[in-house]
Structure 1
Amino acid sequence: MDPHRKDPYLDVTAAGGLLPAMKEAAKLDGGEIWPVPWITDAIVIETARGHVSVVPATEERLFRVRVHVPGFTWDVPGFTWDIGSTGDLRLLVEMVVTWRDGVSFDELAARFTFLELDDFARALERGEPTSSQWADLLSVEYHRRQWNLLRRLHADEVLRNMFPVMSHGAVRLRVDLFDGASRQVRVHELDGERYEVCAGVPGASWVEVPAGDLIACLRAALNEE
């Protein structure tokens, strides 16, 4: 940023940074709001509906708001989506506190017009993020090559209750969407009759599994037998 340009975050700078500015505005407990060390000036607030992060833009006064579902314990960072942005710090903090308090998404959208709450965000409120994610993966053309595997997994009464994520051609199933340490497993289709399965623990290896044993193997890996 040009040092001769006016600082668009004078109030934030005067407060000592975004973290103390938000704490002062929200009167939040120290344990409920913290900086993200690997992203300059990013702030995270833990809530029952995901981690809300605030990232200030560099070229203009704009606080970008995102919701992040904690990632896997191994090589998947999690699930993140943008829900809006505003240049009003107090309005931003009021929205974060309201979100954290569990106010309905309809009320949030009515009170904070800068929010953009998509279908997945609303599925969180309905308690249906898993079914929404399955529906999305089974309908998006981009995942056509994995549809046979996805349908096989979704047909099982246990596995369809696991949260699915696509990554590098494999399907990852996770027991608890909001728990980064939750049991999880990864499965990759080789040829329709053979699959590779990798348990969700650090250092785990891929194991080849025939089609007839796939469901039992995945259930065992998820401790759901």
Structure 2
Amino acid sequence: MTEDLYPDLVELGGLQGALTRTSQQNGVDLGVIDGATSASSEDPNSAKLMSDRGTIMIYLGAEERRFYISIAEVQHSWAEGVTDDLLAVVGVANSWRTGATLRELNSRFPFMEYSELAQAYEDGDPVAIQWGTLLHDDAFADYRSLTQEVYADERLRALFPFYSMGMLRLSADHTSRQASEIKISPLSGGGYRVESTTSDGQTHVEHMGQVVEAAVSLLDGL
């Protein structure tokens, strides 16, 4: 943080102090404001605020006056944005903490952007949107054949899909990282390993066409 870019923050000891002062001056309660980095809760270049819908992280730009804002849960991101206005940062944090929807947040602060998946999470059913992303986003092109094969089964299609380290994971509950899962792993020597987090056994199949049958057989245990 430099005095040239952030003279107001320097005077108040950093971002956390400036957020506290600005919120108080505008009659806003932002709750406890900590540093966003684990190295130091008093990091003058960052701030972290809690809400009922995830954590609000704020970082300073190094080369120009910018406040980078990220709102996220453990499972997913809600919204992100950049502004040079500290009062707007306070407004974003207060709006989110007091229940603004994604559309309302974007309407009040157009620099705060969110994804179709985030909107689906807010609406309560992100499964269909997530499948669409895996099926059509070029980032997942290498896995498209497997995704299409699994998606074709309506029982498996009801699960929340995501890829991790090349493994297709089908979660029984999109709201929890601890939810039961079916995991489908392409093997380097060919074939696939199909398993569930609720059982110890594994099934190895040679062909993609056998994957669905193996995965469906694990549904009752989820």
TM-score by length of 2: 0.72
Partner of 1:164: 161
Shifted more, 106-115 versus 157-166: the winner is 157-166
Q: Relative to 1, partners in 2 of residues 1:99 and 1:200: Cα closer, same or farther, differing over 3 Å?
A: farther
* Partner SS for 2:90: helix
Q: 2 CA distance for matches of 1:156 and 1:34? A: 46
**Gaps in structure 1 of 5+ consecutive residues:** 72-78
Match of 1:179 in 2: 176
1:70 corresponds to: 74
Deviations 1:85-144 (A, max 9, x none): 011112112112212333233322221122223323322332232321111111123423
Residue matched to 1:95? 92
For 1:126-205, list aligned pairs within 5 A.
Answer: 126-190=123-187, 194-197=191-194
Separation in structure 1 between the aligned mates of residue 73 and residue 92 of structure 2, nearest angstrom = 18
Higher RCO (C-alpha under 8 Å, 6+ residues apart): 1
Alpha-carbon distance in 2 for matches of 1:214, 1:117: 33
Once the two structures are superposed, residues 144-169 of structure 1 have per-residue CA deviations (whole angstroms, 9 ceiling, x without a partner) of 33223223433445543433222332
Q: Give the structure-1-normalised TM-score.
A: 0.71
Alignment check: 8 A CA contact 1:19 1:35 kept: no
Name the CA shift for 1:139/1:23 in 2 (closer, same or farther; >3 Å): same
Identity %, equivalent residues: 27
Count of aligned pairs between the two proteins: 207
Aligned residue number for residue 30 of structure 2: 28
Q: How far 1:49 sits from its partner (Å)?
A: 4.2
Aligned partners of 2:194 and 2:52: how far apart in 1?
31
* Counterpart contact for 1:34–1:44, Cα < 8 Å: yes
Shift of residue 45 of structure 1?
3.4
Identify unmatched segments of 5+ residues in structure 2: none
Q: Which has the larger radius of gyration?
A: 2
Residue in 1 that maps onto 2:215? 214
Query: What is the rounded CA distance, in whole Å, between the counterparts of 1:43 and 1:158 in structure 2?
Result: 43
Residue 105 (1) aligns with residue 120 (2): no
Q: Is the 8 A contact 1:35 1:43 kept in 2?
A: yes
Q: Aligned equivalents of 2:178 and 2:216: distance in 1? A: 22
Preserved contact between residue 43 and residue 55 of structure 1 (Cα < 8 Å): yes
Question: Is this contact kept in 2: 1:162–1:176, CA < 8 A?
Answer: yes
